[in-house]
Amino acid sequence: EAQVTQNPRYLITVTGKKLTVTCSQNMNHEYMSWYRQDPGLGLRQIYYSMNVEVTDKGDVPEGYKVSRKEKRNFPLILESPSPNQTSLYFCASSDRPAYEQYFGPGTRLTVT
Amino acid sequence: AQSVAQPEDQVNVAEGNPLTVKCTYSVSGNPYLFWYVQYPNRGLQFLLKYITGDNLVKGSYGFEAEFNKSQTSFHLKKPSALVSDSALYFCAVTLSDETYKYIFGTGTRLKVLA
């Protein structure tokens, strides 16, 4: 089954404790992206990747890091999480920008 | 600055009536436009897109959208709403096939009343 998986699905952590949210897709897509969803703000793009070792900033990259060492994986790293990073995070992938994005199920992160 | 606007936070419609969810955009160049739907506790699902060609595009679940270049709009429509259409709808835009930079609207909650 074609899918994008994210782990963990739920995470409660404390300020400053480094964490990684994993994202993996099994569709051999070149393009992958991370978004955060906040009430009243919709989805905002954090980082995206157009191929292995090629990443670029979206609209809200501050406080986040990404890497793309393999085509299927695109982890999101929060090196020192803060409460304003409490949000619902989605990973997505597609064959090309003009094609539909496939979204993961989301990761709900709470930083206290 | 490039932007996407969904002017209505919520749209209520009676089952069986036509529905419209509005989206306007402000980008330079020719946009690629998308609609996605989010059901409770789920990720987003693709509904339809406009890249080029016919201004009226048809998508999943009986939805369609009309691209209007002069009004910079891409409204989502359905002739007859179902209760099961109740969800959160997002309009999105990207600028070309050369970038993966996306802008999403703030979302419109559609409530279809039985």
Q: Which residues contact B54 (CB under 8 A, 6 or more apart)?
A: none
Structure tokens of A19?
């964490």
Give the model's confidence band at A1: pLDDT under 50 very low, under 70 low, under 90 confident, else very high: confident
Chain B partners of A103 at a C-beta cutoff of 8 Å? 36, 43-45
Three-state secondary structure call for residue A31: strand
pLDDT > 90 in chain A, percent: 95
Per-residue pLDDT of B10-62, as tens digits, reads 999 999 999 999 999 998 888 899 999 999 888 899 999 999 888 999 999 99
Average pLDDT, chain A: 96
Q: Please answer yes or no on whether A48 and B100 come within 8 Å at the CB atom.
A: yes
Distance from CA of B91 to the nearest CA of A (A): 10
Report CB contact under 8 Å: B102, A33: yes
Using an 8 Å Cβ cutoff, are A35 and A90 in contact? yes
- In our burial notation (b when 16+ CB lie closer than 10 A, e otherwise), range B51-66 reads eeeeeebebeeebbbb
Q: Are B45 and A105 a contacting pair at CB < 8 A?
A: no
Q: What pLDDT is attached to residue A83?
A: 97
Q: Which helix (H) or strand (E) covers residue A12, if one does?
A: strand A10-13
What is the tens place of the pLDDT at every residue in A5-41? Answer: 999 999 999 999 999 999 999 999 999 999 999 999 9
Average pLDDT over chain B, rounded to whole?
94
**Minimal Cα distance from B37: which residue of A?**
A103
For B23-88, the DSSP string reads: -EEE-SSPPEEEEEEE-TTS-EEEEEEE-SS-SEEE-GGG-EEEEETTTTEEEEEESS--GGG-EE
Cα–Cα distances (Å) from A23 to A57, A74, B9, B39, B69, in that order, read 17, 5, 30, 21, 36
- Longest Cα pair distance anywhere in chain A, in angstroms? 39
Contact B8, B23 (CB under 8 A): no
Closest to B19 measured CA to CA, from B75, B86, B78: B78
Q: What confidence category does residue A48 fall into, taking pLDDT thresholds of 50, 70 and 90?
A: very high
Residue written as tokens 């994005």? A101
Show residues of chain A in contact with B51, CB under 8 Å: 98
Centre a 10 Å sphere on the Cβ of residue B6 and count the other Cβ atoms it contains: 20
CA distance B31 to B15: 32
